[in-house]
Chains A and B, each alone.
Chain A
Amino acid sequence: MIRYLARRAGHGLLMLFGVSILLFLLFQAAPGDFLSEIKVNSQISPETIAKLRLQYGLDQPLPVRYWQWVKSSAKGEFGYSFAYNTPASTLLWPRARNTLLLSVPALLISWLIAVPLGVLAAGWKGRWADRLFSGGTSALLALPDVLIALLALLIALKSGIFPVGGMTSVNVQDQGTGAWLRDLVWHMVLPVAALVIGSLALIMRHVRASVREVMESSYMRAAEGHGLPRMKLLFGYALPAAANPLISLFGLSVAVLLSVSLLIEVVMSWPGMGPLLLEAILARDLFLVIGAVMLSTVFLIVGNLLGDVLLYAFDPRIRRQT
């Protein structure tokens, strides 16, 4: 088990390494850098710009810059933000925490809803409930994420029950931890709901399809022939057998959720990685972008690693192979 996980984690590290190199190359290929914007400003002399360039190390060749970044990452700084004049890590950590605050609950809630519903829908095959399910999930899939976020904002605005965007109310810190926590959860409701709605349909459809496929197998027919109760058949026999592809989807759903989360954060002004990344890209704030993307990659790898652990726990065939 440990060895299996160590190998998987090793793959993850290799992937991080590859992603970082790719990011540096892509940035090199993209036109302009952080100083391009400043150059347009006639009040700043070319000498100042040249000095800044030297100071930021932008005059160095790519491999040197990459090496500098690796050294800085080893110190936990992940490079330097040009725009904010601080190590990238001081900006990234709180933002990453805020993003996790949205995506982890959204991930759990989506799966907790999607699995039972998907399994039931597989059992209802062909009946009206199943058609309703298919129609519902198709409609959800067709909804653009921006629209979901905007609709959530609209609801907040019209009803007045939920706060319109943001993460905390003003002055809430002064009213004690309990009030602060309640306020935070209250702010989380709409963005998390938007995330769940955005990712639910995909997961539900996959659950239904996987379980449906297993239901056609001869061992399910054999189990039915042994007179097992219907719910036992669906949840005790079909679901474990269908779990394998679903667990792989779990890792993938982390990625989907993160990308949807970036968008929803921007629209609902949640101070997560989304707005930061957008700003950094627009400003060509090299290390901040790389740091943010690398962090997303880490989340993704952790999600997949979690999937591997689950797979190991669920599938005896994989346990034997390893």
Chain B
Amino acid sequence: MTSGDLGFSKPEPLLRVSALSVDYDAAGGEVVHALRNLDLEIADGQSVGVLGESGSGKSSLSLALMRLLPRNARTVSGRVDYRGRSISEFSPAQLREMRAGEVALISQEPALALNPVLPLGRQIADVLLAHRKFTRQEASLRCTEMLRQIGFTDPERIIRAYPHELSGGQRQRVAIAQALVCSPKLLIADEPLSALDAATQAEILDLLHRLKRDLGLAMLFITHNAGALAALADSIVVMRQGEVVARGTVDKLRASPDEYVQGILFPEKSLANVAHKSSAIDSVPLLEVRGLSKRFIQKRMLSRKKFVVQSLEDVNLMLPAGSTVAVLGRSGSGKSTLARCIAGFETPDSGEILLQGKPILANKKSNGSARRPVQMIFQDAATSLNPRFTARQIVAEPLEIARWKSEAERTARAMKLIAEVGLDPDWALRPAGEFSGGQRQRLALARALAAEPRLLIMDEALSGLDMPLQAQMVRLLMELQARHGLTYLYISHDLNFISIFAQEVVVMDAGRIVEQTTSARLGQSIHPATRELVEASERLHAPGVEVAL
């Protein structure tokens, strides 16, 4: 506590946000209230969690604290004080000194937080040199030390590497090293886990936990995943539409009667009444995969060297009609390649894929109807939907390509599908770019359903969504499955809602299926790849807030 020498009777907190309101000027003269009358205090060494679904203003808060809000944002009222001084009165030099010197920010997407064309060592050293009087050599020494502290065993290699040469988890570690290299007092972590797979999420969470303890770091941890906060945060602030709706310790919040708080703390509760209502599962297999192998060969021009990347090796899989089979594994385990082979985007090197006993290629031929038996939904709906198409155009497009019936009938069917996935039909004429992430994923679902598929492949289709939104999507998917007798192949890197959603679970590692089990028995598995997933899930979802098992 350094506030004693400032002469205050009550110790001044490290950071105090009082009655902060921030508006955004959106396109068309609209004003969006990102933050409303927000109060927050962080003392030295304290960690505060901010919990909220997307659009609740969490990220605006982190930017406001760093005075990094974009130009179209206005601070309407309130103030942010750092050690008793309003940051809006900071001179540019003081502001620079504060950023990373006193308060550091790590953000959601580690891939996008690092400059792609500069070596990582330089990017870390530059932060140090901007704040401390070091020679290049001293700075480089300090960087190596920092990287080692963050858990790299080969910091010399990392220093020379470029962002694209590292994995997502490694990049997030480097971003953390960069943020902490000047020993700031407060770390603002804005969704630092969202872009990583579950096992990596758990590792980063452990790291942050250790750093907080070892460095006495105060932390503001912003997330939509309540589980991650339980172990890390001393107190939690729950936000909704820019406002604080509840605050307190995890235990206090668990007892809260507020529906929103309950929904975000226990997203699986909303699924209780739909669970296992799905239609009876046939014993007849809808899809059979036999001995599937796929290698990617990278060959250079004018060179005989070949790089073989074995992506799938001898994969066997059976999907009973009407069931949900989950394929789990870390990034790079071959799950997506499997999905792409079944969907027909990749041609396997060997093996067969049978749909209802016939090779899947024979099924692909259209016979005048708009029906396509296999449909796929991707992780990122933002990039898989043309942002300028209206919602109705997007859903009607597959029908149009198949020249299904008349224009009017296509429109009517598109409207029906839009309503079926829970979107407001009044929005049908809005361009897809105006929809939120969760809404876009619903739109992608409606488009997939337009083709009346038997099998729906979801390649990490929920990973980009908040926990409460994931719960809503799972609920919707289960209702649709019961109504249309759909079969799901659900690909994921985490275990969220697996026990409710899937009957069978397949775990992949390095291109092979290493375990096939039921979702109920997943917790008792002894295979290391499965254990890793289960343990990661346990660490991310503290007892009582668990989502999956």
* Contact surface of A with B, Cβ cutoff 8 Å: 3, 7, 126, 217-230, 232, 236-237, 240-241, 243-244, 314-317, 320
Evaluate contact between A219 and B114: CB separation under 8 angstroms.
Answer: yes
Evaluate contact between A218 and B96: CB separation under 8 angstroms.
Answer: no
B164 at the interface (CB under 8 A from A): yes
The residues in B between 152 and 196 inclusive whose CB is less than 8 angstroms from any CB of A are 162, 164-165, 175, 178-179
Chain B nearest CB: distance from A122 CB in Å?
Answer: 14
CA distance A290 to B115 in the complex (A): 46
Cross-interface CB contact of A226 among B130, B162, B301, B302, cutoff 8 Å: B130
CA distance A244 to B116 in the complex (A): 11
B126 at the interface (CB under 8 A from A): yes
Evaluate contact between A222 and B126: CB separation under 8 angstroms.
Answer: no
Chain A residues positioned under 8 Å from B68 (CB to CB): 221, 224-225
Residue of A nearest to B100 (CB): A226
Cross-interface CB contact of B301 among A7, A222, A237, A317, cutoff 8 Å: A7
B267 at the interface (CB under 8 A from A): no
Evaluate contact between A240 and B115: CB separation under 8 angstroms.
Answer: yes
Chain A residues positioned under 8 Å from B71 (CB to CB): 126
* Contact surface of B with A, Cβ cutoff 8 Å: 66, 68, 71, 92, 95-101, 104-105, 107, 109, 112-119, 123, 126-127, 130-131, 162, 164-165, 175, 178-179, 301-302
Evaluate contact between A222 and B175: CB separation under 8 angstroms.
Answer: yes
Evaluate contact between A241 and B115: CB separation under 8 angstroms.
Answer: yes
CA distance A132 to B345 in the complex (A): 51
CA distance A220 to B114 in the complex (A): 8
Evaluate contact between B131 and A222: CB separation under 8 angstroms.
Answer: no
Chain A residues positioned under 8 Å from B92 (CB to CB): 230
Residue of B nearest to A223 (CB): B115
Chain B residues positioned under 8 Å from A232 (CB to CB): 126, 130
Given contacts A126-B71, A226-B127, A241-B118, 15 further A-B pairs with CB under 8 A are: A222-B107, A222-B112, A223-B123, A224-B68, A226-B179, A227-B97, A227-B98, A227-B127, A228-B130, A230-B92, A236-B126, A241-B117, A316-B119, A317-B117, A317-B164
Chain A nearest CB: distance from B100 CB in Å?
Answer: 4
Decide: A3 near B302, CB < 8 A? Known: A225-B68, A232-B130, A315-B117: yes
CA distance A224 to B116 in the complex (A): 15
Evaluate contact between B116 and A229: CB separation under 8 angstroms.
Answer: no
Evaluate contact between B99 and A314: CB separation under 8 angstroms.
Answer: no
Evaluate contact between A316 and B117: CB separation under 8 angstroms.
Answer: yes
16 interchain pairs (CB within 8 A)? A126-B71, A217-B112, A218-B113, A219-B112, A219-B115, A220-B115, A223-B123, A224-B68, A224-B99, A225-B68, A227-B96, A228-B96, A228-B130, A241-B117, A243-B117, A317-B117
CA distance A223 to B179 in the complex (A): 10
Evaluate contact between B126 and A219: CB separation under 8 angstroms.
Answer: no
Chain B nearest CB: distance from A273 CB in Å?
Answer: 35
Chain B residues positioned under 8 Å from A220 (CB to CB): 115
CA distance A232 to B118 in the complex (A): 13
Chain A residues positioned under 8 Å from B66 (CB to CB): 225
CA distance A229 to B117 in the complex (A): 19
CA distance A3 to B300 in the complex (A): 11
CA distance A317 to B97 in the complex (A): 32
Decide: A226 near B104, CB < 8 A? Known: A221-B68, A232-B130: yes
Residue of B nearest to A217 (CB): B112
Cross-interface CB contact of B114 among A3, A222, A314, A315, cutoff 8 Å: A222
